[in-house]
Amino acid sequence: MIKELKVKTGRREELIDITHLVREAVAKSEVENGIVHLHVPHTTAAITINENADPDVKRDILYKLSKEIPQQDNYHHGEGNSDAHIKSSLIGPTLQLIISDSKLILGIWQGILFCEFDGPRARRLYLKIVAD
């Protein structure tokens, strides 16, 4: 079964912690052991895992990506968001995580981050849980 999560972004570029949404879906599924598959169905957004404790880590990721891949360059695509398409493929649109003993496995400092690169928009995230 596939579940659709909704993510509302508020700026052009933003890393939004969605760990709690994924944990809720895992809890509701009552799956004890398995895999959670996550898929961002957009071409100017992505999904990653990184530190969620100090907000400056998220700021630094976005700062550096935009410094190296600015919105203006010698791009041909006419919508002004080629930088967002490039960042989407560099970070990646899919992620898989392990469920063990009914818990979503993440490192102590790890959070799941929805990456908005061309917002603000109403975004979606597909989630599928496969039990062992």
CA 67 → CA 12, 13, 48, 87, distances in Å?
15, 13, 19, 12
| Residue 23 sits in the site that holds its own copies (CB under 8 A) | no
Binding its own copies (rule: CB under 8 A), the pick from 61, 114, 116, 118 is: 61
| Residue 85 sits in the site that holds its own copies (CB under 8 A) | yes
Per-residue buried b or exposed e for 82-120, using 16+ beta carbons within 10 Å of the residue's own CB: bbbbbbbeebebebebebeeeebebeeeebbbbbbbbbe
- How many residues of this chain bind its own copies (CB under 8 A)? 60
State yes or no: cis peptide before 70, omega within 30 of 0: no
Q: Which stretch binds its own copies (CB under 8 A): 6-14, 18-26, 107-115?
A: 107-115
Binding its own copies (rule: CB under 8 A), the pick from 10, 80, 92, 120 is: 92
* Amino acid residing at 92: G
Residues of this chain that interact with its own copies (CB under 8 A) are 1-2, 33-35, 37, 39-43, 48-51, 54, 56-57, 59-61, 63-65, 67-69, 73-79, 82, 85-86, 88-98, 100, 105-110, 113, 126, 128, 130, 132
